[in-house]
Amino acid sequence: MIVAPSVLSADKSRFRDEVLKVKDAGAEFIHLDVMDGKFVPNVTSLIEYLPSIQDIDIFKDAHIMVMDIRGYAKAYAPYSSLITFHLEASEDVKGDIDFIRSLGCKVGLSIKPATPPEALIPYLPYLDLVLVMSVEPGKGGQAYLDEANGKIAYLKKAIKERGYNCLVEVDGGINGETGKIAASYGADVLVAGSYIYGHADYRERIEALRRL
């Protein structure tokens, strides 16, 4: 299992140290949550912090919960390995996929809890990752929604049957118990924020998820 600690929950005053700490604890990804106050109610920007971690060899997984997909993608591309945008925010999904790839990044596509997983099927050949939101996007600390499980299983099966090389990521309410559930349905990547950050035992928590 790939673990992607969400730096939304990190101590921003020690941002570089927080990223190094989870990397040293075994995390392969870090998850960069970006919100515009339009697609989701909250606003978060990480641009000012990202230059400090540009030299750290860790996969930087940016999740842009925004309406201006191309504008944000252009801003975050220099600091990101992969950029995931929301299907619901896009008026030209394939065009947005191609635009992000033209910036030199891998591409992910996310769906909110109310969106059926079937909506992702036409785009699977062009994606590196699909992100199933197991909470409503826009704020941390929410409880895991069980309806995500069927979506994870559906997408995992669809990707495997078609022979695509696409990861299934799950974000929202992930902890030791819900991580186990998501893994049992086929998740490849688990995003965890408050379950990891704010605790002393980063390594134990990350290792517990990695072993799933």
Known catalytic membership, residue 96:
no
For residues 201 and 211, give the distance between their C-alpha atoms in angstroms, rounded to a whole number. Answer: 16
Residue 112, number of CB atoms within 10 A of its CB:
18
DSSP 94-132: HHHHHHHHHTT-EEEEEE-TTS-GGGGGGGGGG-SEEEE
Selecting among 33, 36, 61, 188, the annotated active-site residue is 33
Q: What sign for the dihedral angle of Cα 44, 48, 54, 57? A: negative
For residues 25 and 140, give the distance between their C-alpha atoms in angstroms, rounded to a whole number. Answer: 22
Report whether 27 contacts 58 (CB < 8 A).
Answer: yes
Known catalytic membership, residue 201:
no
Residue 67, number of CB atoms within 10 A of its CB:
18
- The whole-angstrom distance between residue 9's C-alpha and the CA centroid of its chain comes to 14
Selecting among 61, 96, 128, 171, the annotated active-site residue is 171
Region at 37 (left for phi over 0; alpha for psi -120 to 50; beta for the rest): left
Computed on alpha carbons and rounded to an integer, the radius of gyration of the chain in Å comes to 16
- Residue 209 three-state SS: helix
Active-site residues: which are they? 33, 171
